[in-house]
Chains A and B, each alone.
Chain A
């Protein structure tokens, strides 16, 4: 006969795996015995408890906890709801809400992101400045850079491939949208003489990066493109 009560610990606390069919009073005694057995190990421990394997009413749950706390030195702080289905539903709702928020709202950031700096944002973000190589912008929504994007940008950080990255000067090291990542082309050796660029004349060529068919496309911003995003 398999054990009626099994103690398993997880990262949150103790998981009590209970036999389904046993009579409740007997089960209670088995639980108590089990805890008394491990008294030395659990001495004065504070833990969270969760139940598995048997549907318990609230009263039954409380009785178990009472029994444990009254007769051993273990201190039960709280009960963890182990209902996997409930957890999943809640998680989905929260994520969907976050996605909607990310799509509708936006934040502004004024200033240049220097190498080594990371800007992590829940909502879409508009940056009034440059992103230097070595800097990173992460957003669950879209990223708009009113300046030069020369570093890394990660839009749609929660897996949203509908997000886009736009910049006045698009020269990123890496772009990631959703789960699709793209890197800049390796620098080709140019034997030609470089044009002497004056700093005032940096070419401003607004471009936007979007995901199409699982790849990242970077295209100049035209009216048609913006409507299709």
Chain B
């Protein structure tokens, strides 16, 4: 029996797809059987971020409409055999799938996988309703910005109204230099307003842009974001992992290192 997790945010562009790709890959690295489902119909990009877009033959809408079997639509990841992707359609829109159909799709996959991760589209209408239909728990992604937090608050209200049992928070794209200057909210401010359990804080990292462009999730690698995502995976499994110290020590040594790096 698998755990069905929906990754949602309300606001667009805060890092849902990146988080889905990295948490999914991270769980697969820990030997779990994982399937990622892209529920953003019409604007799919989970396949791009995973680097699997050239392997798509059938998609979620085909499965729902009965044009193919589930096995034909699932794509095995190129690096991890226990990780699969069910891509979305690029030519339809969100009205092509209903919440009941989503529940059926998820039920079909429950026996085969340990974790089903649903990448939710931005917004609160049909796409969101589809994505949360079969979910057991939710990861709400937000950035430490006022507009994102408003939307996350709304989403959390909707999730609790729809009786999603566990809702955890991921604060993404933290910039500790701005936090120190007082230009950006710190994690405490965000959790103060949203009042849910914090499951991870991911710093803003240039490597993310590179990794999404190349289709290679960076979880498990040495950069700060990679370590942060790996920690999130452990916490999803229920382990207690201390939070990364995101503050850069601004001593002479690091400044020298910075100078050499630029050359």
Interface, chain A (partner B; CB < 8 A): 112, 114-117, 130, 132-134, 150, 190, 192-194, 196-199, 202
Check B153–A115 contact: CB distance below 8 A.
Answer: yes
8 Å CB contact of B153 from A133, A192, A194, A197: A133
Known A112-B195, A202-B192: A134·B182 in contact at CB below 8 Å: no
Could you give 9 example pairs across A and B, Cβ below 8 Å?
A114-B156, A115-B153, A115-B157, A133-B193, A134-B150, A192-B182, A198-B188, A199-B189, A199-B191
CA distance A145 to B206 in the complex (A): 43
Q: Give, as a whole number of angstroms, the nearest-CB distance from B126 to chain A.
A: 17
Q: Give, as a whole number of angstroms, the nearest-CB distance from A147 to chain B.
A: 10
Known A132-B193, A198-B188: A117·B157 in contact at CB below 8 Å: yes
Contacts of B158 in A (CB 8 A): 116
Contacts of A194 in B (CB 8 A): 182
B211 within 8 A of A: no
Q: Which of B150, B156, B157 has the most CB of A within 10 A?
A: B157
Q: Give, as a whole number of angstroms, the nearest-CB distance from A226 to chain B.
A: 28
Chain B residues bordering chain A, tally (CB within 8 A): 17
Check A114–B188 contact: CB distance below 8 A.
Answer: no
Q: Give, as a whole number of angstroms, the nearest-CB distance from A134 to chain B.
A: 5
Which 8 residue pairs of A and B lie closest in terms of their CB atoms, listed nearest first?
Answer: A114-B157, A194-B182, A115-B153, A115-B154, A116-B154, A199-B188, A114-B153, A199-B192
Q: Which residue of A lies closest to B195 (CB)?
A: A112
Q: Which residue of B lies closest to A112 (CB)?
A: B195
Contacts of A202 in B (CB 8 A): 192
Known A117-B157, A199-B188: A130·B195 in contact at CB below 8 Å: yes
Check B154–A134 contact: CB distance below 8 A.
Answer: yes
Contacts of B160 in A (CB 8 A): 114
Contacts of A134 in B (CB 8 A): 150, 153-154
Q: Give, as a whole number of angstroms, the nearest-CB distance from B210 to chain A.
A: 32
Contacts of A198 in B (CB 8 A): 188
Q: Give, as a whole number of angstroms, the nearest-CB distance from A213 to chain B.
A: 34
Q: Give, as a whole number of angstroms, the nearest-CB distance from A229 to chain B.
A: 30
Known A114-B157, A115-B150: A193·B195 in contact at CB below 8 Å: no
Q: Which residue of B lies closest to A132 (CB)?
A: B153
Contacts of A116 in B (CB 8 A): 153-154, 157-158
Q: Give, as a whole number of angstroms, the nearest-CB distance from B128 to chain A.
A: 13
CA distance A182 to B48 in the complex (A): 49
B262 within 8 A of A: no
B181 within 8 A of A: yes
CA distance A193 to B177 in the complex (A): 12
Check B182–A193 contact: CB distance below 8 A.
Answer: yes
Contacts of B188 in A (CB 8 A): 197-199
CA distance A112 to B186 in the complex (A): 22
Q: Give, as a whole number of angstroms, the nearest-CB distance from B95 to chain A.
A: 23
Q: Give, as a whole number of angstroms, the nearest-CB distance from A15 to chain B.
A: 43
Contacts of B195 in A (CB 8 A): 112, 130
Q: Which residue of B lies closest to A198 (CB)?
A: B188
CA distance A54 to B56 in the complex (A): 79
Contacts of A132 in B (CB 8 A): 153, 193
CA distance A220 to B69 in the complex (A): 67
8 Å CB contact of B186 from A133, A150, A196: A196
Contacts of B193 in A (CB 8 A): 132-133, 150
Check B182–A133 contact: CB distance below 8 A.
Answer: no
Check B189–A114 contact: CB distance below 8 A.
Answer: no
Contacts of B150 in A (CB 8 A): 115, 133-134
Contacts of A197 in B (CB 8 A): 188-189
Contacts of A130 in B (CB 8 A): 195
Q: Give, as a whole number of angstroms, the nearest-CB distance from B132 to chain A.
A: 16
CA distance A42 to B156 in the complex (A): 53
Contacts of B186 in A (CB 8 A): 196
CA distance A193 to B180 in the complex (A): 8
Q: Which residue of A lies closest to B157 (CB)?
A: A114
Q: Which residue of B lies closest to A150 (CB)?
A: B193
Contacts of A150 in B (CB 8 A): 193
B:156-210 near A, CB below 8 Å: 156-158, 160, 181-182, 186, 188-189, 191-193, 195
CA distance A135 to B139 in the complex (A): 22
Q: Give, as a whole number of angstroms, the nearest-CB distance from B250 to chain A.
A: 15
